[in-house]
Each structure stands twice: as structure tokens, then as C-alpha cells.
């Protein structure tokens, strides 16, 4: 199972594992870099890693029970349900092999672990991986060091159950258990050092 993919390993065919945003960014990286347009490098922690996280920490059933308790009439308990769901996810831990693979990729892609990176959430609908959930989930900037990186990835996972994300899925009819998340880890570049870099929102 591929839990980690480097940018140059990813293309449009990988949307189901990395999401549309990450797939598009990696296509830019592969095709624009040879033309001299600098796209900040990075790697992706795939949706398979998120699914493994849920399984490893036995979170799927408790999350499902919480969502069953959600009041769908006036959503009066949405804030409490969301808070409990996020706490459940943050209480888990990454399996050692996945955590070590993330750290190894961080060190090899960026050459050291003191470089600030952006950790960017990309949600993926199992039945429609090309669907975008722009702006619903958290991203974190200027993350430095192994512990901070691993924690930021867990925070991205937890943001799948922000109040706004839960309500959006309810309004659109998406099954909470069929939405997964990948995290893109990308080099941070100070905005004032050069204007030749390409980014995505």
C-alpha cells in the first residue's frame, strides 16, 4: 500500500488517493519544472494512510455512532458532536511504519527537518474523487520539525469533522464514512524572495 508519494510520482490518475488539488499540483510540478518554472517541491500522505489511521486506532465505529447522534432537525448539537469527533481523531496515533515513512520523506525531499513546510488538507469523496471541498478543511503553514509535522497531519485529519465540514456533507448528502483525506507537504517559500514560483490555492 502506498502511504507516501513524492510529487514526481503523482499524476491525474492518482486523484482517488491524493485528491484533485494535490494531483493538479503534482502535474504542474512534473511538467512546468523542466521549463524553468519553479513549483515548490513536496510529497503527499495519501488517503490510504488516513484509512489506515482510522483502522489502526479503531475510530470508524465511534465516529459513526457520533454522527448517528447528530440532530438533523436544527443541528443544535453540531458543535458538541464536532468537538467530540475531533477529539477522537486527535487521540489516535500514527502507526510507527507510517510515521517513520513520513519523517523519512520529510528528510529526503527537503534534505533536512528544519525547513518550514505547508501541510495542506485535501478531502476525497470515495465515489467522486474529482469533487473539490475547497476551503472546508485546515491547512498549516511554516511547520518545522518531525513532531510538529506529524501533529499537523493529525490536525488535518481532525478538520474533516469541523462543524462546517460536517454540515456541508449533511447538506450535500455525502456519507461521512466515505470521505477521506490526504495531506500535501510542500516547501514554504517566502513571498518576497522571488516571483518565479507557482502555487495553488
In this prediction, residue 25 carries a pLDDT of 77
Distance CA 42, CA 22 (A): 10
Q: What is the pLDDT of residue 177?
A: 93
Q: Transcribe 34-78 into DSSP letters.
A: GGT-B---EEEE-HHHHHHHHHHTT-HHHHHHHHHT--TTT-TTH
Rounded to whole angstroms, the Cα distance separating 54 from 71 reads 24
3-state secondary structure of 16: helix
pLDDT at 175 (0 to 100) = 93
Reported in sequence order, the residue ranges of 97-198 that DSSP labels E, i.e. its strands, are 117-125, 139-143, 179-187
- pLDDT, position 70: 95
The alpha carbon of residue 143 and the mean position of all alpha carbons in its chain are separated, in whole angstroms, by 14
Residue-level pLDDT at 198: 46
The grid coordinates of residue 157 equal: 485529519
Q: Residue 197's pLDDT is what? A: 44
Q: What is the pLDDT along the chain (201 residues), one digit of tens a residue?
A: 689 998 888 888 888 898 888 877 777 767 777 777 777 889 999 999 999 999 999 999 999 999 999 999 999 999 999 999 999 999 999 999 999 999 999 999 988 667 789 999 999 988 777 677 878 899 999 999 999 999 999 999 999 999 999 999 999 999 999 999 999 999 987 665 555 444 444
**pLDDT number for residue 199:** 47
Please report, to the nearest 10 degrees, the dihedral formed by the alpha carbons of residues 6, 8, 11, 17 taken in order: 0
Are the beta carbons of 165 and 137 closer than 8 angstroms?
yes
Answer for the pair 186, 40: CB distance below 8 angstroms, yes or no.
Answer: yes
CA distance 91 to 55: 13
How would you classify the pairing of strands 4-6 and 42-45?
antiparallel
Residue 1 confidence (pLDDT): 65
Q: Nearest to residue 59, comparing CAs of 34, 16, 23, 88?
A: 88
4-187 has CATH 3.30.1490.20 classification: yes
E strand or H helix that includes residue 166: helix 163-172
- Segment (H or E) for 80: helix 78-91
Per-residue pLDDT at 64: 96
Amino acid at each position: 500500500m502506498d502511504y507516501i508519494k513524492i510529487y514526481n510520482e503523482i499524476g491525474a490518475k492518482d486523484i482517488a488517493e491524493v485528491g484533485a488539488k494535490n494531483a493538479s499540483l503534482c502535474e504542474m510540478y512534473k511538467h512546468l519544472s523542466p521549463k524553468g518554472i519553479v513549483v515548490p517541491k513536496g510529497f503527499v500522505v495519501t488517503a490510504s494512510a488516513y484509512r489506515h489511521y482510522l483502522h489502526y486506532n479503531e475510530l470508524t465505529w465511534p465516529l459513526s455512532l457520533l454522527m448517528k447522534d447528530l440532530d438533523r432537525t436544527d443541528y443544535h448539537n453540531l458543535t458538541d458532536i464536532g468537538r467530540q469527533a475531533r477529539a477522537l481523531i486527535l487521540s489516535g496515533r500514527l502507526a510507527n511504519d507510517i510515521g517513520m515513512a513520513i519523517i523519512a520523506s520529510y528528510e529526503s525531499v527537503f534534505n533536512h527537518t528544519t525547513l518550514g513546510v505547508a501541510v495542506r488538507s485535501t478531502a476525497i469523496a470515495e465515489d467522486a474523487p474529482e469533487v473539490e471541498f475547497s476551503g472546508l478543511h485546515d491547512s498549516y503553514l511554516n511547520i518545522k520539525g518531525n513532531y510538529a509535522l506529524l501533529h499537523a497531519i493529525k490536525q488535518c485529519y481532525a478538520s474533516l469533522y469541523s462543524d462546517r465540514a460536517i454540515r456541508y456533507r449533511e447538506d450535500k448528502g455525502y456519507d461521512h464514512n466515505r470521505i477521506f483525506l490526504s495531506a500535501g507537504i510542500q516547501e514554504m517559500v517566502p513571498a518576497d524572495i522571488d516571483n518565479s514560483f507557482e502555487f495553488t490555492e
